[in-house]
Structure 1
Amino acid sequence: MITTLHSYLFIGAHPDDIEIWAGGLILRILRENPTAQVHCVVLTDGSAGYATAQERYEEAMNAAKMMKVSSYEFLNLKDGSLHFNNELPNIIANLIRKYKPDLLITHPRKDRHPDHAAAGTATDKALFLAMVVPEFLDYEPHLCKNVLRFMSDPFNSPKSKLYVDISEVYEQKKSVISNFKTQLGVLEPYLQLNELYGRLINCAAAEIFEPEVLVF
């Protein structure tokens, strides 16, 4: 099962991306495996959203404390600029080499938001770069054998889906999301989707991921 792995890396383009699409998975991992290493990285500063970069940073850090993750890192790249950033594959490769995850969870390649799509596409190159030895990367090489993608667009559902029952941690997830006060108008409908996904598998709430590589 996913929750028996040792090290996890969640990469989101913006503050709240990880929490809304995978917060339940994080809470379930740490509930079932308290010694797991769960690392979260936010690529941008969130400044193109409905609040200032500082407000969004504070919201995310409050959420991180509630989830009790091992680390929560902001790279503070400019919000809205990821699709222009040619260095993004190298940046993500370095994150993979730094945290050495057994499972990487990030954006899909296809998403209406350019930053999300850029992060998802760059991850393909990053996974390869992370396991070889180019001189321009830091840390030791790492082969990440398991990859999941957020299902961030309910109207663009992947053919292959992994449902994760988050019923036992759903109230916790809602509390985590409540930290993002400046974004609640955008985020609350996704909580309703969690309840819909749960009904599809006969539970109270679920998150859906697209499995790309799973060998655990």
Structure 2
Amino acid sequence: METVKADILAFGAHADDIEIGMGGTAAKYAAAGKKVIFCDLTKAELSSNGTVASRLAEAKEAASLLGVYERVGLDLPDRGLFLTEEAIRAVAEMIRRYRPTVIFAPYEKDRHPDHGACSRIVQEAFFSAGIRKYQTPGHEGAHKASRLYFYMINGFHHPDFCIDISNFMDRKKQSLRAYESQFEIGAHSVATPLTNGYIEAVEARDRLMGKEVGRTFAEGFLTNVPLVLEQDLIGDLE
């Protein structure tokens, strides 16, 4: 199998999770020429609205709007995400296939159990993928990404760092609106938390995050380990 080297590999439990949490960041780095890969762990087959087919089409459009290089999916069960060896190996396989510099996953504290489960699975796979003797189905060599960061979906948490997305907020909202089945009430849909001003709530959160760091819009992230500054506190070291 041809090796694909990704700069960013972002995991979500369902299509639209990544867009909600870090769509602006994905668009910003893609626009800068970085290779961004999205991986959805499930097909969201139990979603209250839409179908698997419509969700896949919406996910493809959303990724295209953000400039994502490739979007892939695993076939893990919706509402059946648990910390199993099968799930860990499947995610570790993706990490070894795309060999990312940085990995993103949902923050573990979230009202939706699948988001927390996705976070735990990715954390385990992040470690296991770097073990040479750990076996994955495709038999790719071990790969240790440099960092694992966590984005917020439903929650509002104090971030460890923020990324300025002021110039990419409109593109993020466009990607969310691509999920018409999820965020709009249609003739055959039912009301859910997503159909009641959810995109506006995400925009408000990103605006508040931006205000915290002196920007118009920002996305907040968390990390399990301290960040290392690559420049001096008062400017570049030259």
- Please give the TM-score of this superposition, normalised by the length of structure 1: 0.88
Counterpart mapping for 1:87-166 below 5 A: 87-132=86-131, 133-137=133-137, 138-155=139-156, 157-158=157-158, 161-166=160-165
Deviates more, 1:96-105 or 1:6-15: 6-15
CA distance in 1, matches of 2:220, 2:99: 24
Aligned to 2:38: 40
Unaligned runs of 5+ in 1: 1-5
Distance 1:161 1:135, change over 3 A: closer
Per residue, is there more helix in 1 or in 2? Answer: 1
8 Å Cα contact 1:110-1:120 kept in structure 2: no
CA contact (8 A) 2:46 2:79 kept: yes
Residues 11 and 42 of structure 1 are in contact (CA less than 8 Å); yes or no, is this contact kept in structure 2? yes
For 1:9, the equivalent position in structure 2 comes to 9
Count of residue pairs the alignment pairs up: 208
What code does the residue aligned with 1:140 have?
G
Deviation at 1:58, TM superposition (A): 0.8
CA distance in structure 1 between the partners assigned to 2:87 and 2:168 by the alignment: 33
**Paired residue for 1:3?**
none
Give the corresponding residue for 1:56: 55
Match of 1:29 in 2: 29
Aligned mates of 1:123, 1:99 — CA distance in 2: 14
1:179/1:153 Cα in 2 relative to 1: closer, same or farther (>3 Å)? closer
Q: Deviations over 1:164-188 (max 9, x none)?
A: 1100111111111110112226241
- More strand by percentage: 1
Percent identity between matched residues is 29
- Please report the RMSD computed on the Cα atoms of aligned residues, expressed in angstroms: 2.0
**CA positional deviation for 1:19:** 0.7
Q: Give the C-alpha shift of residue 85 in structure 1.
A: 4.5
How far residue 86 of structure 1 moved from its aligned partner, in angstroms, is 4.0
1:183 aligns with 2:195: no
Deviating beyond 6 angstroms after TM superposition, the runs of 4 or more aligned structure 1 residues are none
Moved more, 122-131 or 206-215: 206-215
The worse-fitting range, judged by mean Cα deviation, of 94-103 and 132-141 is 132-141
Cα drift, residue 204 of structure 1: 1.5
- The SS at the match of 1:171 is helix
Q: CA deviation at 1:212?
A: 2.8
Larger gyration radius, structure 1 or structure 2: 2
Contact 2:92 2:136 (C-alpha < 8 Å) held by counterparts: no
Deviations 1:14-51 (A, max 9, x none): 010011111000111122x21x2111100101122222
